[in-house]
Amino acid sequence: MEIKIFGRLTDIFSQEQISVENATDVKELKDNLLKSFPGLSEKTFVIAVNRKITHENVPLAADAEVALLPPFSGG
């Protein structure tokens, strides 16, 4: 599964996209990311699945479009 990384979060990953395996839901994905990238625990971010920000633990299909988004403000 490909994860798109946006904003200042790219500093932690050193790239704008990463590949992740074995994540069946959002909680498992987040847990795996925090283990692999400890600096992420110091950042505020949300996870978007198929272009919708999720605050719940939703299942992830292998072809899901997933993104990590830092805080943003509108104007």
Q: What tens digit of pLDDT does each residue of 33-66 get?
A: 999 999 999 999 999 999 999 999 999 998 999 9
Does 17 map to a domain? no
Q: Is residue 28 part of a domain?
A: yes
**72 in a structural domain:** no
Domain count of the chain? 1
pLDDT score, position 50: 97
pLDDT digits (tens, 9 = 90+) for 4-42: 999 999 999 999 999 998 899 999 999 999 999 999 999
Determine the pLDDT at residue 72: 78
Domain of 51 in residue numbering reads as 22-57
Please give the pLDDT value at position 75. Answer: 54
Residue 2 lies in a domain: no
The verdict on residue 40 lying in a domain is: yes
Alpha helix segments (H runs only) across the chain: 10-13, 26-36
The dihedral through the CA atoms of 44, 31, 64, 18 has a sign that is positive
Q: How far apart are CA 33 and CA 40, in angstroms?
A: 8
Residue 24's pLDDT is 95
- pTM equals 0.89
In this predicted structure, what is the pLDDT of residue 74?
Answer: 63
Tokens describing residue 24: 């069946």
Report d(CA 68, CA 45) in Å as an integer. Answer: 7
